Structure 1
Amino acid sequence: MKKRPLTKPLDPLLSKSYDYHLPEGLIATHPIHPRDHARLLVYNRTDKSITHARFDALESFLPENCGIIFNDTKVIKARIYGKKESGGAIELLINRPHDAYAINVYIKGRVKVDTLLLFEDTLTARIITLHEDGSRDVNFYRANTLIRFEELLPILEKIGHIPLPPYLGRDDDSEDEREYQSVFAHHEGAVAAPTASLHFSDTLFEAVCSSHPHAFVTLHVGSGTFKPVEAAVITDHPMHSEYFDISSAAKELIDSDISLLSVGTTSTRTVEYHVRTQELKGEANLFLHPNNPPKRINHLLTNFHLPQSTLLMLVASFVGLEETHRIYQSAIDEKYRFFSYGDAMLIL
């Protein structure tokens, strides 16, 4: 009998090792109702078992003595539509502020330094810098007066749109204003939702918090979270940075000796960046992958992520590359819903 040739193991440092085929019909384009009725895949690293459940059964799977870290960032209406002085239509997506006045954005439409963009409600923006990555820095003005980022937020709330991820393939609607936001969102600044948080209803959130020590960090998710790894070797990828702030309660929980569950990749990156730097606020650019695994977070609650994304590589930092592919294939076989409005996975 001929022996089958051994399959060459995947190299965790090659970006192509994180590719997988997802049937288009499994991309969740709308939220599920109620939000805690999403499906939940539970993976236990001790015996490598996979259990299929529903998200509102989360409590029954959580370890008893386990602290929980949530990200309380709040998504802003970061997409606005306007025109250039010359009349050409443009679409602007806010990415993140560099400081109070210089705001990093992405613009659909050709612009150059000093181009003036016109929006509703006497809002204008002037291009001040063009970056090689395709982003631009702008100053915003209201009625010709330079304004700070915090002054821009209420204007965006009035004229802006929820910045849905491009793979949803649709415009935002009134449902997204409610559903693309966690029930515990508090600090404005994210341009993408920390999606694992979206599954919590008020009731489930209160129940989990009443039975487990918990605390909040803030990481304002930027549009870089959707950027695929284009470098052949993942460590050559220029990791994006995002603003973070760790509360005193979260610092106390991190410094304790109990096991920790992070709700989402964003909470994970925040905690792990702090563990490595001891910084409590600033810019985090930590890239977790199998060769740079977590040091403090023990368990992860997350969604199912895009192929060749840093988020998928973060999942592999917990369970390894081969098991990541096995888990994802199980989710595909069971027809789980993927990406931002999709189902969830709990790694124990």
Structure 2
Amino acid sequence: MDIKLFDYKLPPELIAQKQIKPRDYSRLLVLDMARQKIAHKHFYDLPDFLTDNDVLVVNETKVFPARMLGKKISGGKVEVLLTENIKGSSWQAMIGGRNLKIGDSIYFTKGLNCQITKDIDGKSKEIKFNKTGKSLEKLIDAIGHTPIPPYIKTKDSQQIKKDYQTIYAKTRGSAAAPTAGLHFTQRILDKLDKKGVKIFKVTLHVSLGTFAPVEVEDIIKHKIHHEWASIDKKTATSLNRLKSSGKNIIAVGTTSARTLEAFADKSGQLKSGAKWVNIYIYPGYQWNFVDNLITNFHLPKSSLLFMVSALAGREFVIKAYKRAVSLKYRFFSFGDVMFITKNRWK
């Protein structure tokens, strides 16, 4: 399947550089898969579309300051993006800096340093810090920066750290935010609760599997990096009961959707547990658990766009994206949002 089929033209000025205020004032593009109909709303309208037959599943992962700025022994600048804790003081990381090799050290402030110990795949390296445990975590929190994507040019700040976090974030571990969740406010959650919409939480720590670029022409040949995900037994049992009773399962974000599909068997039964997942969803995939999806607008030729197309159909999705561009929707992490659903209005 040719990657060019998932391309679209996006004017740079439509890439959102900051979060809209309030969060739930972002625009909401509603796609009705059954009727091939598109509607234009705002996220604060979402409760109007939902009933007590709907179940939301959100990703409660918490972003940590994974972007670290250091120096080589020569004084040259180095940028380190921590993507996965391998074990103890060893991390997988993407490193930006010239002429670095295995055995070289990178120096940060506050006495923290690391050594490059292994090449993982050419782009990622294994590094080992001179600190471990809570002391390392505190130092990362103190000197690390919010890992906002490179297309966001806004400088890091306390406001950015707050904005690039869902209001229900709990379990530390993500190198990027599950951005569909950024639109939720307590006001929205309260309205959904009053309507009888149930909300459950799963965890997937966002890493390379979510944001790594696709570098092959045939998307089927793309390999997804693994990410750590978990669903507790109580949540799995409840979701299985609700699904079997005919409730509509709405994944909030591609990370929640990937978690549910990775833990569901072909009969549609969700298993509990914690494991590395590298499920790759692209057109032709048979969905086992997810019915609907709330998701931001994704980069051209990205695995996330493949995934959205697997649910709503490539042609319909690209049509919707082109419509969004023409109407100047805001794109990507701090941008607007889509609700992919069926038969939500007469």
Q: For residues 220-256 of structure 1, what are the alpha-carbon distances to aligned partners after superposition, in whole Å with 9 as ceiling and x for unaligned? A: 0014422222211111001111100112332123312
Q: Are 2:292 and 1:299 equivalent residues in the alignment?
A: yes
TM-score by length of 1: 0.91
Shift of 1:260: 0.4
Q: Are 2:12 and 1:24 equivalent residues in the alignment?
A: yes
Contact 1:117 1:125 in 2 (8 A): yes
Instruction: Indicate the residue corresponding to 1:9 in structure 2.
Output: none
2:112 paired residue among 97, 116, 123: 123
Q: How many residue pairs were aligned?
A: 331
Q: Secondary structure at the match of 1:315?
A: helix
Q: Secondary structure at the match of 2:87?
A: coil
Instruction: Indicate the residue corresponding to 1:78 in structure 2.
Output: 66
CA RMSD in angstroms comes to: 1.6
1:343 paired residue among 318, 327, 336: 336
**Percent of counterpart pairs with the same letter?**
35
Q: Are 2:86 and 1:98 equivalent residues in the alignment?
A: yes
Shift of 1:53: 0.6
Instruction: Indicate the residue corresponding to 1:172 in structure 2.
Output: 156
2:203 paired residue among 199, 218, 222: 218
Q: Secondary structure at the match of 2:148?
A: coil
> In structure 2, what is the Cα distance between the partners aligned to 1:207 and 1:300?
19
Q: For residues 169-211 of structure 1, what are the alpha-carbon distances to aligned partners after superposition, in whole Å with 9 as ceiling and x for unaligned? A: 3432222111000000000000100000000112212332452
2:322 paired residue among 304, 309, 329: 329
Contact 2:50 2:197 in 1 (8 A): no
Q: Are 2:46 and 1:58 equivalent residues in the alignment?
A: yes
* Structure 1 unmatched ranges of 5 or more: 1-12
> In structure 2, what is the Cα distance between the partners aligned to 1:273 and 1:64?
26
Shift of 1:279: 5.9
> In structure 1, what is the Cα distance between the partners aligned to 2:281 and 2:199?
23
Instruction: Indicate the residue corresponding to 1:159 in structure 2.
Output: 143
The one-letter amino acid of 1:252's match is: T
1:113 paired residue among 102, 106, 120: 102
TM-score by length of 2: 0.92
27-36 or 93-102: which moved more? Answer: 93-102
Instruction: Indicate the residue corresponding to 1:8 in structure 2.
Output: none
Q: Are 2:180 and 1:196 equivalent residues in the alignment?
A: yes
Instruction: Indicate the residue corresponding to 1:5 in structure 2.
Output: none
Instruction: Indicate the residue corresponding to 1:140 in structure 2.
Output: 129
Contact 1:76 1:153 in 2 (8 A): no
Contact 2:79 2:95 in 1 (8 A): yes
Q: For residues 22-74 of structure 1, what are the alpha-carbon distances to aligned partners after superposition, in whole Å with 9 as ceiling and x for unaligned? A: 11111101111111100001111121111111101111112430111110000
196-205 or 264-273: which moved more? Answer: 196-205
* Structure 2 unmatched ranges of 5 or more: 342-346
